[in-house]
Amino acid sequence: MVVSVHHLAADAGLEMLKAGGNAVDAAVATGFALAVVHPIAGNLGGGGFLLLRTHDGHATFLDFREQAPLAATADMYLDAQGKVLPEDNLQSSLTGYRAIATPGSVAGLTYAEKKYGKLGLAAAMAPAIKLAEKGFVLSAEEAEELHDPGLTRFADSKRIFQRDGKFYAAGEVLRQPELARTLQRIAADPSDFYHGKLAAELVAELEKGGGLITLEDLARYRVVEREPLTGKFHNYTVISAPPPSSGGVVLLSTLNILAPYDLAKLGDRSPASIHLITEAYRRAYMDRSEYMGDPDYNHIPAAEMTSTRYADAWRASITDQATPSARLHRPEGFLPAAPTSAGKRRESPDTTHFSIVDAEGNAVAMTTTLNNDYGSGVTAGSLGFLLNDEMDDFAAKMNTPNFYGLIQGPADAIAPLKRPLSAMTPTLVLEGGLVDGKLRFVLGSPGGGRIISTVANIFLSAAEGGLNIQQAVDAPRFHHQYLPDTLYLEPGFSGKTIKQLQALGYVVDLKDGYWSNGECIAIDPKSGELLGGQDHRSHYGKAAGY
């Protein structure tokens, strides 16, 4: 089974599985196909994480997160007065050429195929090449997405995705010949993207607009294979993302705090269960805000933050009322002193996740991103693909609020060759032990800082709340990130539940509408049947299996 935000990408992955490929072949095919059919987040010019567990119990984590260029500096997005440049400024971390970090997606996908795939890169990329050459029919939702004003600001983006103002309509075919040629070149020689003529063409394209990426930046980029984080929750083993993702740390910390509670007895999304889960989020996100960053540049106390003793100490501060974040005090004696001068920064919700299980039981959870909608808005015109604005995932300035009010400290300050902190949380859940346990869930979502709470919402609803995976993915979500001290709720909660939460002391925000887009798989523990949960928040996704 392959579950993806786009039906054609899911079909590309399924094609690999039917051809005898494994979960990694399917992931590579799905990832490259998303770069064609889902340009708002799928990409060649971004980065991401791939979590793999093979059927014999081996788990690994591929970090192909974007990387700051060598020319990057800590204050590069500040004006002469030391203020953060506004997001519509073409010199900012959000828009235009200077927002682009060295992309990792091509390196990550080709590394995965070479080391863990079966069919070879040419086979895995064939569906994406065909989709770019022949085109695909746009739905009404996709055609509307292409009206994005950020694309209009850059000539090649406007030409390719908006036909220079003659916008695509539902039912029309989007063909991308430049992208098709680039994909063909990568399939023939993946090293060309980072070391050859393709690299030189990309750098030349970026230099036109004052981009910072050089040939040396591309040549020095490497995929980093890391040890996944693991933890226990009741009879489950949870395998998740290590730093530079904050996802696994915050997820495991949250679950550790919640472990002794009988959430099943309280009922899914009851005010009492929402209260306990929210208080766990509040505490785990507080630690995230001050300690997380690139582990190759900072000491991240992940083991301490995910210890059960530390969770016990945090849990002792939870009462039957909401704890105002301003009054929260971290338990002493567990973590080193937090770095000073925490900064607030934005994390974009525009990412994409897919989940895969093959016939042998190998599983992949992969999350990939351009950061904002269509990334920086910049398209390398001759190459046909969009570039990220991942530099915005660094802390541009300490003590400065961002759009979401999400906090991040000095550990995520900008530095050359550094990878920005992420909330992407690809996760696998086993019933039983790490080696001999049976695969039960493949989980993940986009959603910026809300990715972690989304994954936790889905898992707890499926594991504790009595919901099947489709119900768990579709159910209304709730989120708290320590600061701002706000409980965010999606539409779907009753007025009675909202009033009860307010009576507990929560400041409730209902204005944000829907967020995230979980694409998940559950495995029936008795029959082994694969059950797909494709999020109703997207109208063109699919759970594809056989």
Specify if 543 maps to a domain: no
Q: What is the pLDDT of residue 344?
A: 42
Instruction: Categorize the per-residue pLDDT at 51 as very low, low, confident or very high, splitting at 50, 70 and 90.
Output: very high
Q: Which of 361, 387, 412 is the last residue of a domain?
A: 412
Whether residues 173 and 190 fall in one domain:
yes
Q: Are strands 438-443 and 427-431 parallel, antiparallel or unpaired?
A: antiparallel
Q: Which of 412, 437, 462 is the last residue of a domain?
A: 412
Residue range 144-173, pLDDT digits in tens: 999 999 999 999 999 999 999 999 999 999
Whether residues 253 and 210 fall in one domain:
no
Whether residues 211 and 256 fall in one domain:
no
Share above pLDDT 70 across residues of the chain, in percent, rounded to a whole number: 96
Specify if 135 maps to a domain: yes
Whether residues 62 and 195 fall in one domain:
yes
Q: What is the pLDDT of residue 298?
A: 85
Whether residues 63 and 151 fall in one domain:
yes
Which spans in 433-539 are helix H?
A: 451-463, 469-474, 495-503
Whether residues 45 and 16 fall in one domain:
yes
Residue 526's domain spans which residues?
Answer: 226-328+423-537
Work out the average pLDDT over 97-114: 98
Instruction: Categorize the per-residue pLDDT at 400 as very low, low, confident or very high, splitting at 50, 70 and 90.
Output: low
Give the three-state DSSP class for 50. strand
Whether residues 531 and 508 fall in one domain:
yes
User: What is the number of domains present in the chain?
Assistant: 2
Whether residues 18 and 38 fall in one domain:
yes
Look up residue 54 and give its DSSP letter. -
Specify if 35 maps to a domain: yes
As a whole number, the mean pLDDT across the chain is 94
Q: What is the pLDDT of residue 91?
A: 85
Residue 59 makes CB contacts below 8 A (sequence gap 6+) with 51, 52, 53, 228, 230, 239, 428, 434
Element (H, E) at 26: helix 23-37
DSSP 10-21: HHHHHHHHHTT-
Distance CA 211, CA 198 (A): 16
- Of 30-39, 151-160, 296-305, least confident by mean pLDDT is 296-305
pTM exceeds cut of 0.85: yes
Res 343 pLDDT > 50: no
Specify if 334 maps to a domain: no
- Residue 60: HSE in the Cβ half-sphere, 13 Å Cα cutoff: 16
Specify if 444 maps to a domain: yes
Specify if 417 maps to a domain: no
Specify if 341 maps to a domain: no
Give 338: exposed, middle or buried? Use CB within 10 Å, 0-12, 13-18, 19+: middle
CATH number at residue 291: 1.10.246.130
Res 457 pLDDT > 70: yes
Specify if 264 maps to a domain: yes
Instruction: Write out 199-246 in H/E/C secondary structure.
Output: HHHHHHHHHCCCCCCCHHHHHCCCCEEECCEEEEECCEEEEECCCCEC
Residue 358 makes CB contacts below 8 A (sequence gap 6+) with 17, 21, 22, 23, 26
Choice among 351, 368, 425, 497 that is catalytic: 351
Distance CA 450, CA 453 (A): 5
Whether residues 392 and 459 fall in one domain:
no
Q: Which two three-digit tokens encode residue 290?
A: 């001050």
Whether residues 180 and 291 fall in one domain:
no
Give the three-state DSSP class for 44. coil
The residue type of 398 is M
In 3D, which of 63, 26, 67 has the Cα closest to residue 45? 67
Q: Which of 362, 379, 412 is the last residue of a domain?
A: 412
182 carries an active-site annotation:
no
Give the three-state DSSP class for 140. helix
Whether residues 525 and 391 fall in one domain:
no
Whether residues 217 and 235 fall in one domain:
no
Res 346 pLDDT > 70: no
Work out the average pLDDT over 232-258: 97
The string over 174-209, giving b where at least 16 C-beta atoms fall within 10 Å of a residue's C-beta and e elsewhere, is bebebbbbbbbbbbeebebbbeeebbebbbebbeee
